[in-house]
Structure 1
Amino acid sequence: MDYDLLVDAIYRAGADPQEWSYVLRLLTGAFNGVCAALHLGDAASDFSFGATYELDPEASEAYAKHFFAINPLNSPLTRVPAGKAIGDNELVPRETYRASEFYNDYSLRYRLNGSVTGILDSRNGHVSCIGIVTATGTDPHTAEEVSAFQRLMPHLRRAIELNRKFATAKANAEASLGTLDQLDFGVVLLGENGIVLRANAIAAAMANSAYGIRLVQGRLKIADAGAQNRLDYLVGCAVNGIGPRGGPLLIPRASGKPIFARILPYTGVSYDGVPAVQAIIYLRDPEASPTPAVDHIAMAHGLTPAESRVLRALLNDSDVRSIAENFGVSVATVRNQIARIMEKTGTAKQTELMRLLFSAHLPLMEP
């Protein structure tokens, strides 16, 4: 299983729901399936979405009309907490499942066997989930396969949350643009040829000589020539979909630590009456107060205060020895804390942990 390829595809689907079919195709191949399905239902916000891969249309229609109501897995699934991946043999004993009407009249008819299901959300008995189904005659998913699927769950849920946010934005694009000013970091939206379409309040405040950034005739300009050249290159790649398609950038300033920038292509939806966004620049002042996003991640994953402190430090400095020196602890202590952070957040490498930090739901300013 190409984990990085899957994670990248999942986040592309977070920006563009049409990409979920590709994600399902990758998951089907990675987990020895024959088909896959994604179902989202959120009665509270009227947000719903579905996608399938290689699922027989006749089987899908029959399931919706009759077999959903008698599926013996449905009731146990409502008791599985959101964020958990589970094999169907953990939900219902195999002999009980094979004796059911559902198995004999539906599963055998359409040559479908076991499944591994990830619970994306569960509210008031309504389950949003993603599942990979194997063929008749194959063994159920192993504990190792379920564990591998579990590693993907934080990314899958985060991408779904992005879908929700983009759906809300589509309903009221102008109102959504207004919320950019509530963010506690700079955001610059770029259109065709890298022209600035919108800069939020933080980005506009940064556009002065003290930060080494200016907005000149609709373009972002940097006092440092080397940083300007790299910005032009990264923006060109992001806008035109070539090369590295964006990337990180340090913007020197007269005093203090450089401003951290990240340039990314925009692959989400476009709205009538709103100029097409081609790329996004995120700007963060490392000397400003720690971003609430880190605190939200720490709280969501149950990190200790010491682990949270290390997580904040990683946002500005990936060097373990430097972090240890700053905190007056041993390198081994910091490495152990990072290992516990990765275990709690479902990440296997420090690069995955950094991706989690930078792709987390963008935080609103604290009141």
Structure 2
Amino acid sequence: MSKIRPLSRVASVFTTPRAPEDFLWLVNPLSSARQLRGIVTAVVPETPDSATIHFRPGRGWQAHQAGQYARIGVEIDGVRHWRSYSLSAPSGADPAITVTANGKVSETLVRRTRPGHVLFLAPPQGDFVLPEHPRPLLMLTAGSGLTPVMSMVRTLVGRRRDADVVLVHSSRTLDDALFREELAALGDEHPGLRVVHWVTSDRGRIDLTRTDDLDTVVPDWKGRAAYVCGPPEMLDAATALWQSSNVPDQLSVERFAAVLLDGAGGQGGLVTFETSDREVEVDGSTPLLEAGEDAGVVMPSGCRMGICQSCLIPLLAGQVRDLRTGEVHGDEGQLIQTCISAAAGPVHLEI
């Protein structure tokens, strides 16, 4: 270390105002003292509108637990956009995300990402993870909600021959079902994994307002630790069903978005990002986090649903509306959760 520091000081003469390490990415795209990065190693199509993107993270990445997610940054037209994606690779392996083309960032990842491209990363997080001790499991998923559960399945069946897992996955057609061939092969290889495809075009949506469908497909569902991931209405119904069945502690749910109040939007207004010298006119239903990202402001964020507090930014002036409750609030200097807050008139933020 005593030799490196003088060399760094000498190099800084030629790189000022940048630090020497800022130029290491020209040689090694994963080298950065300021921003964790990953390099794409493979892009595997899953369906016509989805793909799994494998990447090798640089130094500073924390190994993920099965079921966790990570924030992924992508530069589009010179602007860095961040979104959270569940990690679909098993724990202990290099990470991967499985993305469905729905929205600007997801479209870019699915349609344009190639091996060798660089992704910006934040460390894995989330508590939608496997139980500490072995026990029978029920995985109930729909659409892209299968992604974090697939990480769990891949982790379990590869390490525990006594795994007891029932996976019920809902999709519009069999062709729309993610990982269908791999799940079939895993089910054949591991007798402790039973996969049930619930095709909504044939059977309609699985009914979680009562127990009939679950009783038929998984008769012992009340005795299993349940993991549910899918659309908000599915999660709401599952939460109510497990509660009414007196087994709420058996249920874990993963939400991809905050639960917002219907009609919570208001007048909106001009949002000024003071430090970034940006301003944008937004409606009353757009979270300030999304407004900032769309304006090219590097916004802190984490869960993007009002839980982790990673997106807090000081409010300099104006008022905001909590999109979950409709409450309007705001005092100078108050820390605002930008992922679940929208402008209620002109707003100035310290970022």
Tell me the TM-score normalised to structure 1 length: 0.25
- Which structure has more helix as a fraction of its residues? 1
